[in-house]
Chains A and B, each alone.
Chain A
């Protein structure tokens, strides 16, 4: 069965510092991995995805994520955090021939000025 874990409910970082939001997954076959961001009372916005190829994926707003097959991880990163990055971040996975996307429980990122 497919599953996604986001081990941190909240991540706190100072503006200008690098940030990492963690995600690990379990799926049979090739994983297709996604990151989405949600601002308060809004829908989710797509940030980036890993399908195949280069393990480092670059996305919107300066975010990037690194796919690590041996550790079954897909952590979201940004070199320098902004206060406006404060939001709820979801990791998601598809794979194993399944149609459904499985979402993690979300990690709230708080960037302090």
Chain B
């Protein structure tokens, strides 16, 4: 899982509560990403950031928010507005935002909302 850490590994929340997932990297990468993984659907992009203090919505940003105050950190908040938040969440980073760079993934956080 390289130099990316995600915490916690498992997270349980009640409906209506906001929850923040942590993502930290020590690879000195400029770009960071959040994906959601559901069975049989591959990975879907939630948000990405190419530089500190800047981020863009991905394909499924509704009900999520992010911040990028430091190069090494890109936390994701799952808000109560997210209709179906139970999923496996993956954070990734890449050296630059260019097309040729592979991504390095954290170990993931499995969120269960009941």
Contacts and interface: CB of A to CB of B under 8 A. Distances in A.
Contacts of B50: 99
Interface string A30-48: 0010101000011111100
A105 B99 contact: no
Main secondary structure of the interface of B (DSSP, over half): loop
Interface string B37-80: 00011110100101000000011000000000000000000000
Most buried by B among A9, A36, A44, A95: A44
A51 interface: yes
Nearest to B50: A99
A36 B1 CA distance: 12
A46 B108 contact: no
Nearest to A34: B102
Interface of B: 1, 4, 6, 40-43, 45, 48, 50, 58-59, 90, 92, 97, 99-100, 102-108, 110
Interface of A: 9, 32, 34, 36, 41-46, 49, 51, 90, 94-95, 97-101, 103-106
